[in-house]
Chain A
């Protein structure tokens, strides 16, 4: 079954590759937020290495997005357009990306850690026989050796691991959404657009996309302005009801830590952290959460973080804007009562804006 492809990319180690690339994910002509964030992060790396930053754009009739990519920080945009690229498919997108990478040889190549971003990156890394670091949350470069330092929380622990790819190029990483900061859109920026064409016919495609269904009923946690998140410190499933109650009053989303989801108190789509959602709401309540890195990476960029925990040394207080050292089971009922008084006394219902 082997196609023998895996050997091709090896041979020369391509250490003379230059340039920082960002895979720009667009869906139906809209650029995903994580791609803009990566242009911001990539800009810093490119400046340190004194190389251009390029955006990689694939799709059907997407050329006009190239300008946007430049406004958000790119010096160059490589565009591949084709009708077979109308919807994402590993087969066609991978071929487009490999074509560009083999021809223009970047040294660093970043992808958003979305389903499609991870999918294409994994395939590309296999063909280019290069290293790919998954779900990174910190990026830096060691300029002298031109090494990408891609860091991510190590399994389970309160510790980060920096992954290096010393002898293979490009150095690739997928990056968690909502961790990096996008630059301000600057329409004064200019850049170069390079177009390439892909020779694939629809008849040769093995995979067809029959239907795309946007699930609008299911409001994503990522869109909530306020999130109330509870941890194992809530004790048991019944006490966790207090989290639901407070969230209900605030019109907030409910989140839980990995422990809570594994204990079955919440379904997986409410999990916040490295293996769940990354969220950046305006107000984030962290209740009964000690603050393992695995959780912190999923919420620390929230605007206001209010933490309640018994242990004054809990790491959650390190990232919190306001902290309360106390028993959540004591504080929450009082908070709920006071909230009802403060808002409902005015005779109205609280609804979410």
Chain B
């Protein structure tokens, strides 16, 4: 049960982080001067996408340890 929760819950965020990274690198390639700005926003967006996986992780930890 715990394994299934985190396995399914990590799918979406994994895709999202991949897309954010791809688009971020693409943007830096087009406009290298804006690199620091793009990197900051990219890390913020990654943190939001990652939060979804973290919710799944919290649920699976609750299933496992309580």
Q: Do A and B bind each other?
A: no
State the B residues within 8 Å of A (CB). none
